[in-house]
Structure 1
């Protein structure tokens, strides 16, 4: 590959583009597919998600620890990434290529096994891809640039994975949709990994033992405050994506084909609004900008309660897009700075462990989302698409407005306890 593309922010961002297309399609439509289309009960769907999280609690930190200790002539992360690409493609297709006629426990078992396989391989990809960011890009200025480019690619991928997906599965079915997205993922992820050249300085570092590595991570107060606050906001991202198809059907009462326009109103608007938020963050600083973005995100979901029909749904979707854009801007820079401070304290570059534990905290937010769906469903009587209960309209207005607002307020309160990091010459580079 041409040297100018090696370790380029643009080619690195292709990895985010590749990962987010299937990930967004999964997050937005797996609940809708299994619960609404295939008739799996919300209780069984929640149980499957809970069992996955038990497995995820183990594989996330181990994946990070093993990645940090890997030493090959190709680097620490690349061998893991190359190995996981075909496995992820197969697992993603399995999630949506459900054999015809599966019901009840058979459907639950298929969902559980495919979920565990999909998320297990996704862990390897996300941990190793995320661990490359603070290693490849040193200093806040280049990180801000790389993050901006990465968010641009991410938003385009989110748009494809959410807004375009209803058109794709309506035309080809869920199984072929998964196959198309798996091929796109494989092509762009290979281009990303081929463009990465890892540094050799980590090879000379002594290897921390497993217990010692996690003891240091658990002692990092800034890391925990930042990631727990972000996890509640990340729950909202997943909840909004997964609930919009239900909200469109039961609250807005629009045809399934028009869900594309509703999703597009959120994610298309994010593209220019990210630039607005970069201006705001530059004025306020990273910490204050992050906090303001959480408050704005919380307020942006309130109008969804009043949605009636496609026009109001699109209008309120654009407002949500403004809140979402703010949340996407600052986390990569702040998280990388936390890793830098850990390196200065321990003499170790442990991007893998930090990315893994951060990923586990973020993914744990999926349990909050699943439990919210189950609890609110029980309160208002929603069981599945076959048994939506007496008031599905109210069910999904609560899930898409009230629950996200409460979660974001919790996130904002936690963020107030995170003090600004000390600024030194390295952070200005």
Structure 2
């Protein structure tokens, strides 16, 4: 599609909207659905997540490597995305279409199978969609702009996937909610992909062999420090989104119908703040902004401990939204720099393998989140909705405030090891400024 919409940051962001609506609904409510509603024990839910991570450790790098090696007339990434779309739809519906009467081992097996299949489909989509970002948008300025737009769409998706989801499943059930979000995914992902045109030069490069590709990737110190720090912060995103329904019920003591208002307070506040963080990135550069975002995020989760009731919960949620917005915008610039430097050293664009390995590191945060849920649950006696223990209120206050603060503090401390690794900040890449400006002009016009 040779129009002004080709490779536009706005149309590309539809892909984020497409995937994040169902993914956010999944991450926010699968624990609540299986543990609180269906009675699956926290221990079995944690075991399922552990088994998934073992598979994820294999399929993430594998699909990234295969994507980098793909050579077709349609590009490297688009064929994978189109092929994975129906698989993603079917497995997402499977997660929330549990046959009636399943309990115990049967429920665990269904949950594990649905989780593995859904995460496999998600992996193919995320690896290839994520690999397109640094390929299509070259240069820090346009990446910061594209990231801000993309994260704005992500916040809309987070709002729908978190705040609207309870309204839908309360009215129509979990299965119909899943079908509705699956249809939305197909529409928005098609709008994204039909406007994407991959760059020709990437298809002509001879790919690295398997061992060499992983050797070069795994010895990249910058890559590891950046993604390990990100993984702890990413844990907080998943932990907050999945624990808010429990927190609302047991700590704030508000009815299920008001959970949407609480989630909306967090995510609506993020939308205008994305623009604020784009401005901060422009002024301070990627590294300083990323580090500052994690520090602000750590401080922003503290008020969640003190909230009581819907009103104070909403105020605490707005504060948390400011920290969240910074973490959503800032990592894309640093990730792009790492991939660009690798391309200069190897002579090949290897977005797929870097996106995949980074995806595994950050998505392993799901295990940290699950283990935190399990440990805090054991300490305070929470087993499931059928057996919440003697003090579930304090348990979920810890899980939305104390644990996130500790994880974000670890992220910030790890980020300090990147000092002087990125000596060239935004707008100072000699030899790239003219290319970046030309690229931005093409996209804008």
Question: Is residue 404 of structure 2 the alignment partner of residue 404 of structure 1?
Answer: yes
Give the stretch that moved more between structures: 203-212 or 30-39: 203-212
Task: Note if contact 1:77-1:128 (Cα within 8 Å) is conserved in structure 2.
Answer: yes
Describe the shift of the 1:178–1:390 C-alpha distance in structure 2 as closer, same or farther (beyond 3 A).
same
Q: Give distance in 1, aligned partners of 2:333 and 2:351.
A: 13
Q: Give distance in 1, aligned partners of 2:423 and 2:299.
A: 31
Question: How many pairs are equivalent?
Answer: 429
Q: Give distance in 2, aligned partners of 1:127 and 1:3.
A: 26
Q: Quote the offset at 1:46 in angstroms.
A: 0.1
Aligned to 1:425: 430
Give the stretch that moved more between structures: 350-359 or 190-199: 190-199
Aligned to 1:41: 41
Q: Quote the offset at 1:3 in angstroms.
A: 1.4
Q: Deviations over 1:180-221 (max 9, x none)?
A: 000000111111111111112123212211110010001111
Aligned to 2:257: 257
Q: RMSD between aligned alpha carbons?
A: 1.0
Q: Give distance in 1, aligned partners of 2:284 and 2:212.
A: 37
Q: Give distance in 2, aligned partners of 1:231 and 1:427.
A: 30
Q: Secondary structure at the match of 2:208?
A: coil
Q: Deviations over 1:350-382 (max 9, x none)?
A: 000000001000110000000000011011100
Describe the shift of the 1:390–1:48 C-alpha distance in structure 2 as closer, same or farther (beyond 3 A).
same
Question: Is residue 201 of structure 2 the alignment partner of residue 196 of structure 1?
Answer: no
Aligned to 1:53: 53
Give the stretch that moved more between structures: 274-283 or 257-266: 274-283
Q: Quote the offset at 1:145 in angstroms.
A: 1.5
Q: Secondary structure at the match of 1:272?
A: helix
1:174-323 → structure 2 map (5 Å cutoff): 174-323=174-323
Q: Give distance in 1, aligned partners of 2:133 and 2:274.
A: 20
Question: Is residue 342 of structure 2 the alignment partner of residue 342 of structure 1?
Answer: yes
Q: Secondary structure at the match of 1:425?
A: coil
Task: Note if contact 2:14-2:153 (Cα within 8 Å) is conserved in structure 1.
Answer: yes
Q: Quote the offset at 1:116 in angstroms.
A: 0.1
Q: Give distance in 1, aligned partners of 2:143 and 2:95.
A: 35
Normalising by structure 2, report the TM-score.
0.95
Q: Secondary structure at the match of 2:75?
A: coil
- What runs of 5+ residues in structure 2 fail to find an aligned partner? 437-445
Q: Give distance in 2, aligned partners of 1:209 and 1:279.
A: 41
1:18-29 → structure 2 map (5 Å cutoff): 18-29=18-29
Q: Give distance in 1, aligned partners of 2:122 and 2:25.
A: 14
Q: Give distance in 2, aligned partners of 1:242 and 1:362.
A: 16
Q: Secondary structure at the match of 1:206?
A: coil
Q: Quote the offset at 1:285 in angstroms.
A: 2.4
Q: Give distance in 2, aligned partners of 1:101 and 1:426.
A: 64
Q: Secondary structure at the match of 1:4?
A: coil
Aligned to 1:130: 130
**Structure 1 moving runs of 4+ over 4 Å:** none
